[in-house]
Amino acid sequence: MAATVSSFKVTSLRCLCPVFHSKNWFFLLYLLVAVFSCQCFSAADEHDFTDDFFKKEYSLAKPYSGLGFSSFSQWDLMGTAMVTPDHIRLTPDLQSRQGAVWSRVPLILKDWELKVHFKIHGQGKKNLNGDGLAIWLTKDRMNNGAVFGNMNQFTGLGVFLDTYPNAEKSHDRSFPYVSVMLGNGSLLYDHDQDGRPTELGGCSAAVRNSVHDTFLLVRYSTNRLSVMVDVDGKGEWRACADITGLRLPIGYYFGASSATGELSDNHDIISMKLYQLTNEPTSEEAEEEEEVTIPRVDNMEQFQVKVEEGGGMSGLQLFFTLLFSILGLGVLGVVALIVYSRWKENKRKRFY
């Protein structure tokens, strides 16, 4: 029946309009599919790049309005860092330079993804260049120091694009090397060993003098940190590090820093774009959600806090114990007083 109806409609349309014969129907169908797919693609693009998930307040992108001089800018420059129309150059290809760019806005998102577009390039031959750059999400900001231009014993996350092998060249990894470290304020980054003792994960990646655009992706969701690289011009993310049970407090600052020593390179940041990830925690996860004050990785010895466990708690317990003891004594005193006065009253009545 349906077939009869549709064939009737087609026949009627053909009668009404000579344009609608079978060849044109196929063309029309093709046109509709093409238009529909275009809409789908553009919707997907918008979903990725222009929707609510992109967080401008935490992002650094062209044209870098006001950066370096305006009080309205959400980023600060320090050291040798300078802004050009195309990038923020943290260091030029010159010896002994340090530069950084830091966000002024503390991050309050729990689940996020940071896409960094960077370029490391210079005149030096392979392994005769240095030192690399670092991407940060830390408690403190705007400090000079020995870790790619930032302070050592930092508190928070550091992702290092290390372009110079300081440790023995016989090691099994090739440079440049991307590595991840979580600092708790006391752990030291050991520059002479390229941070191996505190490394949580990493990979080799040809991030220097690349003819392609080079990107780094840091994703943090449900206490899992994933780092990926796209440096081969394939437009694909390659997994580099994956750490579960990683606890990061909120309220930290994004930054990028770089340093050169005897050897040098241009270290450029083109953009740092932050996207919010939406993750609805299950009721169990929400229940067991605890406030994190010091960064740590679950079940890793180097993050066991050295100070006496519960030192603050015992002070608190002592306070409450004292408070309740005093209150208890007070209540007892009042009760005793009432009982005594009643007893005295009764005794007095008996005499009359």
Give residues with Cβ within 8 angstroms of 177, minimum separation 6. Answer: 162, 165, 194, 202, 203, 204, 205
Residues between 46 and 105 that touch Ca ion (CB under 5 A): none
Our CB check for Ca ion shows the closer of 75 and 164 to be: 164
Provide the Cα torsion 25, 30, 34, 40; round to 10°: 80
265 forms part of the interface with Ca ion (CB under 5 A): no
Site mask for Ca ion (CB under 5 A), range 190-229, x = bound = ----x-----------------------------------
For Ca ion (CB under 5 A), the number of binding residues is: 4
Read off the tokens for 191. Answer: 């520059």
Our CB check for Ca ion shows the closer of 162 and 265 to be: 162
- Supply the minimum distance, in Å, between the C-beta of residue 120 and Ca ion: 13
- Supply the minimum distance, in Å, between the C-beta of residue 166 and Ca ion: 4
Site mask for Ca ion (CB under 5 A), range 136-175, x = bound = --------------------------x-x-x---------
Our CB check for Ca ion shows the closer of 58 and 118 to be: 118
Among the residue ranges 187-195, 221-229, 301-309, 325-333, the one whose residues contact Ca ion (CB under 5 A): 187-195
- Supply the minimum distance, in Å, between the C-beta of residue 139 and Ca ion: 24
Our CB check for Ca ion shows the closer of 145 and 249 to be: 145
Our CB check for Ca ion shows the closer of 68 and 261 to be: 261
- Supply the minimum distance, in Å, between the C-beta of residue 195 and Ca ion: 8
- Supply the minimum distance, in Å, between the C-beta of residue 177 and Ca ion: 8
- Supply the minimum distance, in Å, between the C-beta of residue 148 and Ca ion: 9
Our CB check for Ca ion shows the closer of 115 and 191 to be: 191
Residues between 96 and 135 that touch Ca ion (CB under 5 A): none
- Supply the minimum distance, in Å, between the C-beta of residue 188 and Ca ion: 15
Our CB check for Ca ion shows the closer of 99 and 130 to be: 130
Contact positions toward Ca ion, by CB under 5 A?
Answer: 162, 164, 166, 194
